[in-house]
Amino acid sequence: MNLISVLKRVSIKHLLKGILLAIRRPFFIGPTMKATKDCIRVSTKNYGKLHQKNGPANAFRHALWNYMIAKRCLKWATKETSVLDWTKQITDWHEDAFPNDALARRMDLHNNWVGRQIFQENPTISEADAIELFKKMTKDSTKIDTNSDLSQLKNQLVHIISTQN
């Protein structure tokens, strides 16, 4: 998928909000785009197209994506908090710009949060080690439904559908 086809799916309101986010943190744009591309590559390598569904592989992708954005943007920041704020803002923007149903949104936001938490707790581990950690967490991902209390699953990845490799 190319950038033009992606931008065609975004409303003017969300496009402008994305531009404003980028203007505030221009040095984070390159690392964020590279992290996004690399995260998709790693997810596809490990899970094939399963990461595009709402199963455990998708949980892996969201958590790794947030971790990678934070890790790579930290090279351009003096404060870890500014990187975590950016990562939350840009991934929340993504969820708003490319909406899912309510349960899928809750799942994505939760897994994004888990990725940022892992970064906050382990900012110095290598990306390779983080990938291995997220792969282990993916094996223990918890299936949720509309009645699930995500506050009870703070340190776990979550998914909606069960998928098999």
Distance CA 65, CA 107 (A): 14
Task: Supply φ then ψ for residue 117, to 5 degrees.
Answer: -65, -45
Segment 102-127, tens digit of pLDDT: 999 999 999 999 999 999 999 999 99
CA distance linking residue 4 with residue 26, whole number of Å:
20
Q: What is the pTM of this model?
A: 0.91
**Per residue in 65-76, pLDDT tens?**
999 999 999 999
β-partners of residue 158 are 142
Question: Phi-psi region for residue 135, left (φ > 0), alpha (ψ -120 to 50) or beta?
Answer: alpha
Each domain of the chain, given as residue ranges in start order, spans 3-159
DSSP H helical segments within 98-160, as ranges?
Answer: 102-121, 127-139
88 against 18, higher pLDDT: 88
